[in-house]
Amino acid sequence: MTTKVVLATHNPHKVSEFQQIVALTRPDLEVIGYDGPEPVEDGVSFAENALIKARAAAAHTGLAAFADDSGICVDVLGGSPGIFSAYWAGQKKDAAANLELLLDQLADIADPHRAAQFISTIALVTPEGAEHTVAGVWPGRLATAPAGGHGFGYDPIFIPDGQTAGDERTAAELSDEEKQSQSHRARAFEAFVPLLKTL
């Protein structure tokens, strides 16, 4: 018997990514996209915004809902773009413009000072009102130019830590399997698995 759980996003990339990750640990769970009204994300942290989205989806559907709020945090920018990652170049959520602006802001920053982390916080809200959050961090640094055709958002300029020197790839150059095993969402989801057992 399949149990449905709502992923509180209108982003098909995230739905697909989470469907693949969930299938590895809970094949009996069917992740469905959220088709309700988009809540105002007025929290000041990834956790607050994830809870806002999960609460809205649980209330709208009557099902358990989870939401991911994530972004890229650049050390030299004091942790920005952070919660503003999707809107860095304006309210249109233009991924290409966001990436271009971030690269422009870091144009004169040398490689040793280009450290960055992708952070993902997952919130789970049940119809009964139980709430939980977990987080995952994917450390790395930013490239000086985009590379790779996989992924989305800032993936083409993010070089994850832990690769062989001289053979480093951006997140957009990793295979789906590689990304799913090490990304910030994968790390957050690993901490999230025990919560899924309650559904």
In the residue annotation, 69 being an active-site residue is answered as yes
pLDDT tens-digit readout, 9-64: 888 877 887 888 788 778 888 899 999 998 999 999 999 999 999 999 999 999 99
Per the prediction, the chain carries an average pLDDT of: 92
* pLDDT at residue number 125: 96
Report the number of distinct structural domains present in the chain.
1
Residue reference for tokens 């649980």: 58
* Catalytic residue selected from 28, 42, 68, 69: 69
Domain boundaries, position 165:
3-196
pLDDT tens-digit readout, 117-143: 999 999 999 999 999 999 999 999 999
- 186: phi then psi, degrees, rounded to nearest 5: -65, -40
The domain that holds 15 is classified in CATH as 3.90.950.10
pLDDT tens-digit readout, 17-30: 788 878 877 888 88
**pLDDT range class, residue 76, cuts 50, 70, 90:** very high
The predicted model gives 62-70 an average pLDDT of 94
Give dist(CA 104, CA 95) in Å, integer. 14
Helix (H, G, I), strand (E, B) or coil at 78: coil
Q: Which positions ≥6 away from 13 have C-beta within 8 Å? A: 152
Query: Does the predicted model carry a pTM greater than 0.85?
Result: yes
